[in-house]
Amino acid sequence: MKNTQILGLQEESSKLIAEKLNVLLANYSVFYQNTRGAHWNIKGEQFFTLHPKFEELYDSLVLKIDEIAERILTLGATPCHNYSDYLKVSTIQESQEVSDATKCVEQILEAFKTVINLQREILEIAGEAGDEATNSQMGDYITEQEKEVWMYNAYLGK
């Protein structure tokens, strides 16, 4: 028996949600690698402030990557796993500037904007499909990330 039948979800709705989750997975994967790059390469007087903050962020991102992939599998689909595939669908671009503190934080905020907007879109689709589990997951991510946005903006003095 297919997972969607056991979960009480419509197959077509689950397929659409899984497709959107794969785009989210791609965005998180690029966001993760960009953050790792910033962590490794940050320079200047903000090094001791941002180096551990970036590590905290990429640790959080890698957990979400795993959770999203597992949700895709739960919905009966296959999560993408190749960076070449991620780069085709991700709306977050690979970072080129990973040593300037202000630029790194601005890129992180832009990445948060991208994933939060996509998560809100998934929330709507999952809500219409009655997919409470995906809805809850996206809501939890948004709640956490809104606080992160506030903190990174505070760092920039905004």
Q: What is the pLDDT of residues 128-153, one digit of tens each?
A: 999 999 999 999 999 999 999 999 99
The C-alpha atoms of residue 80 and residue 154 are separated, in whole angstroms, by 35
> Using 50, 70 and 90 to split pLDDT, how confident is the model at 59?
very high
What pLDDT sits at residue 100? Answer: 96
What pLDDT sits at residue 79? Answer: 98
CB–CB of 28/68 below 8 Å?
Answer: yes
> Is the alpha carbon torsion for 146, 42, 66, 71 positive or negative?
positive
Segment 25-29 shows an average pLDDT of 98
Which pTM was predicted? 0.95
Segment 7-25 shows an average pLDDT of 92
